[in-house]
Every structure is written in C-alpha cells, then in structure tokens.
Chain A
Amino acid sequence: MSTQQILLAGLDPKTGDQTWHLADYVKRGGYAALKKILSENISPEAVINEVKKSALRGRGGAGFPAGLKWGFIPKNYQGPRYICCNTDEGEPGTFKDRDLMRFNPHQVIEGMIIAGYAVGSERGYNYIHGEVWSLYKRFEEALDEARAAGFLGQKILGSNFNFELFAHHGYGAYVCGEETGLLESIEGKKGQPRYKPPFPANFGLYGRPTVINNTETFAAVPWIIINGGEKYLELGKPNNGGTKLFSVSGHVVKPGVYEVPMGTPFPVLLEMCGGMRNGKLKAVIPGGSSAPVLPADIMMDCTLDYDSIAKAGSMLGSGAVIVMDESVCMVKALERLSYFYFEESCGQCTPCREGTGWLYRVVHRIEHGQGKPEDMELLNSVTNNIMGRTICALGDAAAMPVRSFTKHFKSEFEYHIENKKCLVPPEVQREGSRIYVTPNRVPSC
C-alpha cells in the first residue's frame, strides 16, 4: 500500500506555521497545476474529466463524487457562477481542515481557482469556521500573496481567465457546515438550510449556479491535474480514490491529523496515533459525532474508506475518529452529544427542533437515574420521527448517535434504568476525562 501524502506532504507541524507562504508552496511544486492548465490550454471539460477519473469524493462528510458535482453546473448559463469552499468545521471530532488551512492554504486556493476554471466561474468564497480566527487571517494573507503573484485577478498568468477569491468567516453555528445553510450565511442571513432541490449547482449563492466543496476536496485537485486522475485513484482503492485526512481525538497517545491512503486498516491508524493512552479500546465514532458509533471489535476489522465503514453500519463522514476507552460511560457520552444537537438545531424544522430536545431530555434522565423502562422505545420512536423528515441532514445527524449507542451498548442503558447508576463504576471513569453537560438552556417539555 502506498504511503504517499499529497495534502500535508513535506509539512512538519513543528515548522508548518512558517512554511505556508506562497514562496514555500511554489517550492513544493505549488501552482504548477494551474500553470499547466493555462499554458497547455487544457479545456474545462478535460479538467472535470480528470477529476471524475480520480474518484475524488467529497471530503466534508457526504462523499459525493466531486467531478460529477462540477459536471452539474449548467454549461451555457449566462451570468455569474460561484465557487464556495466549506471550511466551517464544527462537528465534534473534526479538525482536519485546520491543519490544511494553517500549513497549506495555497493548495486550497489553487484547487478553488482550478474549480473556477473548470465550471466558468470568476468568483469564489471560502467560508471559514469563526472560532479559529487565525485561520481566517492567514487565509486572507495567503489571498493577498496569490493576488500579488498574478494567480488571482484579471487575465491570470496572461490567459483570458479571470478569478477572484475572498474569505468569509462564520461566527458560531454548526448548521452552517450544511452547504445550503452556508450559502444563506454568506448571503448575510441566518444559516438555515434550504430545501433541495434545487441543488446549489442550479440555484446556489445569490441564486446562481454554485460549486460547493469541502476544503480537503479542493486541496486534492492540483495533485490530480499534475499526476492524472488514474494515479490518484490508485493511491486509494476502487471507488474511493486518493488519500484522506483523519482527525483523531479522544483516548489515544497522540491525537492529531493524519493523512493516509483510503482503505488503510483502522489498526494501522491507531498505531500511528501511538495506540491507546491508558485503557483498552471500547468504541470508536469513525466519522464525526453524527456518525454511528462502532464497538471496538467491529472497528478493528474496518478499513478506512467510505464503503468499508458503511458496510460496518457507520459512515466515514469527515474522517473524524473519536476514540473511547473502557472508562467511558456510553450513556454519558451520548448525553453530551445529544445536548450538542439540541443546542445547535437551527429550529426551522419541528422534528429536529423538538426532537433534539426530547432526545437530550430522555438520555439525560436515564443518565441521572430517572429513566423508565419504556424510555428505550421512546428514544427509538423519537429518532424514527426525526430521520428523513427534516430539510437538512442535521436531524439525521442527531438521531444516528442515539440509535447506534442504544443498539451497540444497550446493556449500559438498561443497567442505568434498572439500577439508577452506571455500569462503568465511577472509580473507573477516569479523572480528567469526565463528561457532563451544563445546559445553557433547558428544553421545554
């Protein structure tokens, strides 16, 4: 198996804060893809075809093929089209784009420019998670460098291609990571997701055709142009092209961002993180907090790609791997996640607005020794009434943890209900990794 890195290649976290500038990126071979396209006059269709061949799938969580998405932009549309980048990482466990943005922002910029060329767009926006302000400032600096070097602006590198790119910051709303919520947010509104269809390819930013991809997706594009889509596909496995960034958090020795080829066995990633910090592996959430949790034995048999994790009953999602050891009470862990979804529901769909409150309230009472035997069925019924009944995927995102925690760790929930206490003895629940929720607001009954 290949161990090639293409997103964080040659970047050392220790020196990465110094080597993100344009000159460093060019030294690493940066902007060569853009130069190649413009100097060899490669057609936009050929660019899209190369991306299609690469089997590059959306790195934000949904895994939708990027080339296909680009191909949906209407060919003969008269008027502006937009490129939007989703750097609004706020799903618990996800912090991969942060490393890309702080160590390699120009690769994101180059990918976005190429996307602009491919779909005939002259303007793009990168929506950056507001909590990590330094990323927003750095990206703006990187844009200034790219403008000064002639990679952005009018008649780029002497061609007839014009493209401008700007940074837009979020200010604390998880739902803006949903692509249409993000578009609303750029338009200066509440980030409430839109009904789909119409999809952004037809009706996106300001009602214009828009390509919206995750940061990591754009960053993979320059490599694909230089080395070819087939080479990229070969790095991973069929239908799951390339490498992927994994953000590993929780009970491992070295939490952090790791770039590995798609299809890497999970135990290999765990070893790269230095293994477990203290206890034995109990459970893993493989794709961000909304992905179904998997017990250790199932996870240890998985390879890290969209298809393998889906087969095991979860999702690769954004590649956010949350690792939990045996000291974790799964009821408490779920209580914390359920509170998050309750807090972050944008409120426009009743099943999510009310349902997330129900989920949190019921899990909370089970955790606090007030659960009733019928609560397990109640949780199931609430998730049934949320899933598939909301405008965006946040409803499902809130329901899936509840379903998977109660499925795989049913005995812990039942023990709580019956014995009014934890199956994991309090002395085992490690000091320094306690979990609890202090609600900022309490769901009304």
Chain B
Amino acid sequence: MWTDNNMLSQDTLKKIDREIAKYPADQKQSAVMAALALAQEEKGWLAKETIACVAEYLDMPPMAAYEVATFYNMYDLAPVGKYKLTVCTNLPCALSGGVHVADYLKQKLGVDFNETTADGMFTLKQGECLGVCGDAPVMLVNNRRLCSYMATEEIDKLLAELKS
C-alpha cells in the first residue's frame, strides 16, 4: 500500500515500542501521539502514508491516527523547511516583545507566517502559548529546542548558528 520510503526505520520502531510499553497491553493506541511525533522526527513531516504506517503498527484504523495528527498543531502535515521556527505572539509574550521579534524574523527571512524560505532552510510559524511566558520573547526550533529571551541580537546569533 505504501512505498519503502514511508516505512519507519528500525530505530524509530524501537522507540515506538518503548512508548507502547507505558500503557496497558490492550491500549496500544495510547502511544499514537508519541509514535506520530517520532515518525515526524524521522521523516521531517507526516505524509498520509506515514500516518497510515503508524496506525498499522499500533493496530488502529488509519483514520483514527489521522484524526490525532490533524488535531494537535505540532504535527506537520505538509513539508516544512529544515528548521521550523515557531514564535509565540500571544498576549503575555506580546507585552514583552513577541510581536516585535516575529516582525524581525519575517523581515530577516523574507517570509510571512506559514511560509518557507526559498532555500528550504526556514519555515516561520505563529505559535499559540508555549507555556513559558516569563521568558518572552520565546520561540521553538523544530518542536524541540526552546529559545528564551530572544531579543533581536539573539535571533541573529541563532540564525547564524542554524545556517552554519
């Protein structure tokens, strides 16, 4: 049904097994959020076929896994740049420069929210609350790396680091 390209690596499957072990034996589906996150980590984004692959591994209908993938906003259902930058612009962050920083990034990268730079390096996203308002301005790199107190000079440093 899917090509080898959509199959998950042994390493990813091993990590998914560790997640499955956290739940009662008849509740494999509980591991779907972690499994989709791991699949996305390997593939860069979640194609329908990748989601189906995860569903089959967890003995659940592909639609049920697709429902999860479309509900939570950290799953990417379309390709993104090498680095996805998510900037929080919600009220508490805005009060401490969140919007200012988002504008700076837009200008620096030459893209708007939900766009990817021509070289495929960066995708810019607007985040809703990341849960670290005290560190504003804040941003996330590829869902994993949280960057606090991102004044414009810090952003310059981060972009230079990611480009190198």
Contacts and interface: CB of A to CB of B under 8 A. Distances in A.
B30 A168 contact: yes
A432 B73 contact: no
Contacts of A129: 131
A344 B100 contact: no
Interface string B77-99: 00000000000011111111101
A340 interface: yes
Given A168-B33, A189-B67, A336-B94, A92 B73 contact: no
A123 B31 CA distance: 16
Given A187-B30, A249-B134, A438 B129 contact: no
A93 B133 contact: yes
Interface residues of B, number: 52
A438 B130 CA distance: 17
Interface string A233-256: 000000000000001111100011
Q: Interface centre among A328, A346, A440, by most B CB within 10 Å? A: A440
Interface stretch (A171-179, A217-225, A374-382): A171-179
Interface stretch (A39-47, A69-77, A131-139, A147-155): A131-139
Given A95-B132, A255-B136, A337-B91, A169 B34 contact: yes
A216 interface: no
A95 B134 contact: yes
B126 A188 contact: no
A93 to B, nearest CB: 5
A62 interface: no
A322 B92 contact: yes
Interface string A264-304: 00000000000000000000000001000000000000000
Nearest to A336: B91
Nearest to B67: A190
A64 interface: no
B71 interface: yes
B94 A98 contact: no
B99 A206 contact: no
A90 B128 contact: yes
A424 B143 CA distance: 37
Most buried by B among A172, A289, A346, A436: A172
Contact of B146 (A134, A333, A433): A134
Contacts of A320: 133
Interface residues of A, number: 64
Contacts of A257: 134
B37 A187 contact: no
B73 A206 contact: no
Contacts of B128: 90, 92, 172, 174, 340, 343-344
A316 interface: no
Contact of B74 (A131, A191, A437): A131
A367 interface: no
A412 interface: no
Nearest to A335: B91
A131 B146 CA distance: 8
A395 interface: no
19 contacts: A90-B129, A94-B133, A95-B133, A98-B131, A130-B37, A131-B127, A132-B131, A169-B37, A171-B33, A172-B73, A206-B24, A247-B133, A256-B134, A322-B133, A340-B129, A432-B97, A433-B97, A433-B100, A434-B99
Interface of B: 22-24, 27, 29-34, 36-37, 58, 60, 64, 67-68, 71-75, 89-97, 99-100, 112-114, 126-136, 140, 143-146
Given A98-B132, A189-B29, 17 more contacts: A90-B131, A131-B140, A132-B132, A133-B143, A172-B73, A188-B30, A188-B32, A190-B67, A191-B72, A249-B133, A255-B135, A336-B91, A344-B128, A432-B97, A433-B96, A436-B89, A437-B89
Interface of A: 80, 89-95, 98, 123, 125, 129-134, 166-174, 185-191, 206, 247-251, 255-257, 289, 320, 322-324, 328, 333, 336-337, 340, 343-344, 346, 431-438, 440
